[in-house]
């Protein structure tokens, strides 16, 4: 028995680096083959980004529109939810619990002409379904907080649309989503200051999946932008948003390593897409931004944000962006393979509820990079929970190959 265990253990150790090496080999080959030609310039990217929402249009928001926005997010689920009390301890959400959440929304004070204000997110901030810190799960064994819509990053401009009854939460609009954030994580300012920030061309962009400012250790993610104050040998001095005792915007200096940032956006090339994507390999999966990480659609958002390109938040919204999208839902497996051979690496591939970055045909197989909780390979479940590289012949829980489930190919271009 001891010899058998030793043999199995040795085989396991042997295969772990092989799998890791395979992913590295595939992504490196994809990068090697990639073009360095510019796909879109700054003007074309600006035009693309206009597919997203303009937060400044919120100043003309009516009561009816605001009510509709809140009701579209703060929906009482039809399925059971279990509220986390502490580690390992949960309670089932009942009508009284949901009544308390709805009361905290503070519907009664919404005016016919809502008072719309503006501000910046000051730290990595959960965007919630309801004005509550509670975490809700579909089962006591689930790891996904169903009250978590997304996660916002420092210096994200937002429109402040409404405030909760307890005064702790505000309902905000960003360029691609809406929801509830803690009021203490937003610094109010004027539209003019927001526009100055967005029009500023002297900035650094975070170019790694995770970084921190020196000393204050503010958590940063790929795509975060900070106005540049000064460049030094090994670091940048930048402006960081802060909230004063009145809740208004003020600034402090921050220090970001040159290894973690770039002056200005990275050029939008096929090679840069793939280089940025490769930096995420093996990063843990984070539903809605849980635990400091990201999910499949947020991964794509952050890769492209480092080049100044803004995507919608959720997979189904990203899939509808244009102009170069191709509906392949009705094609056969062979037909999809034939189209994929011609599809450019760096494109987005969609199937229902999931988005992947296409790496190209390598070693006679179509490969993807994606953030995934799990999949099946030759009938065996792989509990991934990370960013990984796979071919498109992996399977879902019903035994269908990913390639047969593909619905849309999207090339972000002019």
SS3 per-residue string spanning 354-373 = EEEEEEEEECCEEEEEEEEC
**Separation in Å, CA 88 to CA 127, 134, 285:** 24, 15, 21
Q: Where are the beta strands (DSSP E) in 347-414?
A: 348-351, 354-362, 365-372, 375-377, 380-382, 386-391, 408-411
Q: What is the pLDDT of residue 414?
A: 87
Where the chain has pLDDT below 50, the residues are 1-19
Identify the pLDDT of residue 323.
84
Per-residue CA distances from 406 to 142, 238, 308, 328, 366 (Å): 27, 43, 27, 7, 12
**What does the pLDDT read at residue 406?**
98
Q: What is the pTM of this model?
A: 0.93
Q: What is the pLDDT of residue 21?
A: 57
- What does the alpha-carbon distance between residue 404 and residue 414 come to, in Å, rounded to a whole number? 28
Beta strands in 207-248 (DSSP E): 210-212, 219-221, 225-231, 235-243
Would you put residue 12 in left (φ > 0), alpha (ψ -120 to 50) or beta? alpha
| pLDDT tens-digit series, residues 154-199 | 999 999 999 999 999 999 999 999 999 999 999 999 999 999 999 9
pLDDT at 216: 87
Q: Which two tokens stand for residue 203?
A: 């900035």
In the block, tokens 């509709």 appear at 68
Quote the pLDDT of residue 19. 44
Q: Tell me the C-alpha distance between 299 and 191, whole Å.
A: 29
Question: What are the C-alpha distances in Å from 324 to residues 166, 273, 347?
Answer: 46, 17, 10
Six-digit token pair at 153? 């990053």
- The residue assigned the tokens 């973690």 is 260
Q: Phi and psi (nearest 5°) for 126?
A: -65, 140
Beta strands 178-182 and 169-173, pairing class: antiparallel
Q: If DSSP codes are grouped into helix, strand and coil, which group holds residue 211?
A: strand
Please state, in angstroms and rounded to a whole number, the distance separating the CA atoms of residues 144 and 126.
13
Task: For residue 50, report the phi and psi dihedrals to the nearest 5 degrees.
Answer: -70, -5
| 398-402: long-range pairs with CB below 8 Å, 24+ | 401/333, 402/351, 402/356, 402/368, 402/375
Bridge-partner residues for 198, per DSSP? none
DSSP per-residue string spanning 306-332: TTT----SSHHHHTT--SEEEE-TTS-
């Amino acid at each position: 028995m001891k010899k058998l265990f030793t043999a199995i253990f040795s085989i396991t150790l042997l295969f772990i680096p092989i799998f890791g090496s395979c992913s590295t080999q595939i992504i490196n080959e994809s990068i090697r083959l990639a073009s360095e030609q510019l796909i879109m310039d700054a003007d074309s990217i600006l035009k693309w980004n206009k597919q997203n929402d303009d937060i400044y249009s919120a100043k003309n928001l009516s009561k009816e529109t605001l009510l509709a926005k809140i009701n579209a997010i703060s929906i009482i689920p039809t399925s059971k939810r279990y509220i986390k009390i502490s580690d390992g301890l949960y309670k089932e959400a009942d009508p009284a619990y949901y009544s308390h959440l709805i009361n905290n929304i503070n519907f009664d004070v919404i005016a016919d002409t809502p008072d719309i204000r503006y501000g910046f997110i000051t730290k990595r901030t959960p965007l919630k379904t309801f004005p509550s810190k509670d975490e809700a799960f579909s089962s006591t064994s689930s790891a996904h907080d169903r009250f978590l819509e997304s996660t916002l990053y420092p210096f994200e401009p937002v429109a402040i649309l409404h405030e909760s009854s307890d005064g702790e939460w505000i309902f905000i609009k960003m360029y691609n989503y809406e929801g509830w954030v803690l009021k203490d994580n937003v610094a109010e300012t004027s539209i003019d200051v927001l526009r100055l920030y967005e029009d500023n061309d002297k900035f650094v962009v975070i170019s790694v999946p995770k970084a921190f400012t020196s000393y204050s250790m503010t958590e940063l993610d790929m795509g975060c932008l900070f106005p540049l104050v000064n460049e030094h040998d090994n670091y940048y001095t930048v402006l960081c948003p802060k909230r004063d005792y009145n809740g208004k915007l003020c600034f402090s200096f921050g220090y970001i390593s040159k290894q973690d940032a770039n002056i200005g956006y990275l050029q939008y090339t096929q090679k840069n897409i793939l280089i940025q994507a490769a930096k995420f390999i093996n990063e843990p999966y984070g539903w809605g931004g849980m635990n400091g990480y990201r999910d499949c659609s947020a991964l794509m958002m952050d890769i492209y944000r480092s080049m100044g390109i803004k995507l919608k938040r959720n997979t189904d919204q990203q899939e509808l962006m244009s102009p170069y999208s191709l509906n392949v839902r009705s094609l056969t497996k062979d037909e999809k393979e034939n189209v994929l051979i011609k599809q450019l690496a760096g494109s987005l591939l969609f199937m229902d509820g999931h988005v992947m970055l296409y790496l190209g045909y390598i070693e006679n197989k179509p490969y993807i990079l994606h953030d995934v909780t799990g999949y099946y390979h030759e009938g065996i479940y792989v509990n991934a929970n990370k960013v990984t590289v796979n071919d498109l012949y992996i399977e879902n829980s019903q035994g269908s190959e990913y390639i047969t489930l593909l619905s849309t190919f999207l090339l972000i271009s002019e």
